[in-house]
Copies of this chain bind each other. A is one copy, B any other.
Amino acid sequence: MSLNHTPNAERVHIGIFGKRNAGKSSLINAITGQDLAVVSEVSGTTTDPVYKAMEILPLGPVLLIDTPGLDDTGKLGELRVHKSWQILNKTDIALLVIDERQGISPEDEAILNRIAKKQIPCIIVMNKHDLMPENQKVSLPENIGFPAIEVSASTGYHIPELRELLTSVYHVPEEKFRIVGDLLSPSDFAVLVVPIDKAAPKGRLILPQQQTIRDILEADATAIVCKEYELRETLENLGKKPKIVITDSQVFAKVSADTPKDILLTSFSILMARYKGNLETLVKGVSILDQLKDGDRVLISEGCTHHRQCDDIGSVKIPRWVRNYTGVEPEFSYSSGTEFPEDLSSYRMIIHCGGCTLNEREMKYRIACSEDAGVPITNYGIAIACMQGILRRSLEPFPSISAYLENHKDL
């Protein structure tokens, strides 16, 4: 059975939300206790959500997330509720579990509003139907906009129907974005500038470089790869003008100087942010650099722990560039690997690495949590382009983003 081999990040994430007494855990047991196998279970502390990997056919591999009660109280309870709300940022389908006898509470309504705002498919699960007095009828708010189903976790009533409903509300996300292929016509030349320094992995290309080459080939175009020192001569020796030059952010300044103004120029970092649907958010995030003040807290966050690929970019270069560019002295904090602060509210801005070692879901989760907390977030490549004064040029290939820049002439 290959069930165990599906990485959790690739499973459909089903978040189970509700008040403490709604029967969330019983509902999960009812679903998993049937003909479905629980293949892993990570029990956390009481503040942590519980994850259960399983298979729901025909939906496929899923990850059920049991979250803390929405009505928890006290200082610790508040933290738990906050965590439940954050879980929404990694939820593909939300189940809001209520005790049918009690109907929908203000806490339920609050999270339903958030779910609607985030456009997450949702099912209202009216649990404990077996305890419902015959003459009582639940009243749902009008225009609630989500399907509702009466179930009983303890008797199994309507549990198979709930599984079918899960399958029908979920829509496989379409791949909306290309890396660069949509900017190219067949037989176009695209030049890639790949520095070979001690941070480059021995004998290999990093994934964004591979993905970009691959996408160029799929557009029936030709990828031309050189180091920054060979760019000028390479451009001279091409028999026709390339459509675009794509560079590693670290050598942006030199590449910008060596690339004639009538050739599009951007970076792997910007292309990957666009591919993952985050470009607009990250460009808006960088604009806060101009408003930084002494003592503002800036979080620098890196996906890898080894600092092998990223060298000292995050810990040394970025802080120095930020000080030089802004002329102020912010207070820098650092996080790396899977660690990412629970509470982001004290930060003025977040500068994150490209996230090549994080899965896409984790990166999206971090960006969504930053947005929830109202903290602007940007990434290394976009921050570097901004501080080197070439952000505008490197966003020219993308008209919708350029329009945003028109209103921020300072960038």
Enumerate chain A interface residues (CB-CB to B < 8 A): 186-187, 189, 194, 196, 203-205, 207, 210-211, 213-218, 220-227, 229-230, 233-234, 236-240
User: A189 CB to closest chain B CB, in angstroms?
Assistant: 7
Instruction: A216 to B234: give the CA distance in the assembly, Å.
Output: 13
- Asked if B214 and A196 sit within 8 Å, CB to CB, the answer is yes
Instruction: A223 to B205: give the CA distance in the assembly, Å.
Output: 13
Instruction: A215 to B196: give the CA distance in the assembly, Å.
Output: 10
- Asked if B196 and A218 sit within 8 Å, CB to CB, the answer is yes
- Asked if B196 and A204 sit within 8 Å, CB to CB, the answer is no
Give which listed residue, B196, B213, B214, contacts A217 with CB less than 8 A.
B196
Instruction: A224 to B217: give the CA distance in the assembly, Å.
Output: 11
Instruction: A198 to B234: give the CA distance in the assembly, Å.
Output: 32
User: A176 CB to closest chain B CB, in angstroms?
Assistant: 15
Task: Report how many copies the assembly holds.
Answer: 2
Instruction: A342 to B186: give the CA distance in the assembly, Å.
Output: 51
Give which listed residue, B211, B213, B237, contacts A238 with CB less than 8 A.
B237
- Asked if A237 and B205 sit within 8 Å, CB to CB, the answer is no
- Asked if B227 and A224 sit within 8 Å, CB to CB, the answer is no
Most chain B C-beta atoms within 10 Å of own C-beta, residue among A186, A187, A214, A240: A214
State the 4 A-B residue pairs at the shortest beta-carbon distance, nearest first: A239-B239, A223-B225, A222-B226, A205-B210
A233 contacts across to B, CB distance below 8 A: 187
Query: Given A203-B214, A205-B213, do A222 and B220 touch, yes or no (CB 8 Å)?
Result: no
Query: Given A205-B213, A237-B187, do A222 and B224 touch, yes or no (CB 8 Å)?
Result: yes
Given contacts A204-B207, A213-B225, 11 further A-B pairs with CB under 8 A are: A189-B237, A194-B217, A203-B210, A204-B210, A213-B213, A217-B225, A217-B226, A220-B229, A221-B230, A222-B225, A238-B238
- Asked if A204 and B194 sit within 8 Å, CB to CB, the answer is no
A218 contacts across to B, CB distance below 8 A: 196
A217 contacts across to B, CB distance below 8 A: 194, 196, 225-227
User: A263 CB to closest chain B CB, in angstroms?
Assistant: 15
A234 contacts across to B, CB distance below 8 A: 187, 222
Instruction: A207 to B203: give the CA distance in the assembly, Å.
Output: 9
Which residue of the partner chain B has the closest CB to A240?
B237
A196 contacts across to B, CB distance below 8 A: 214, 217-218
User: A227 CB to closest chain B CB, in angstroms?
Assistant: 5
Give which listed residue, B211, B225, B229, B238, contacts A225 with CB less than 8 A.
B225
User: A312 CB to closest chain B CB, in angstroms?
Assistant: 22
A237 contacts across to B, CB distance below 8 A: 187, 189, 222, 238-240
Instruction: A70 to B224: give the CA distance in the assembly, Å.
Output: 57
Which residue of the partner chain B has the closest CB to A179?
B203
A223 contacts across to B, CB distance below 8 A: 224-226
User: A257 CB to closest chain B CB, in angstroms?
Assistant: 19
Instruction: A187 to B230: give the CA distance in the assembly, Å.
Output: 7
Instruction: A210 to B214: give the CA distance in the assembly, Å.
Output: 11
A225 contacts across to B, CB distance below 8 A: 213, 216-217, 222-225
Instruction: A196 to B219: give the CA distance in the assembly, Å.
Output: 11
User: A16 CB to closest chain B CB, in angstroms?
Assistant: 32
Which residue of the partner chain B has the closest CB to A196?
B217
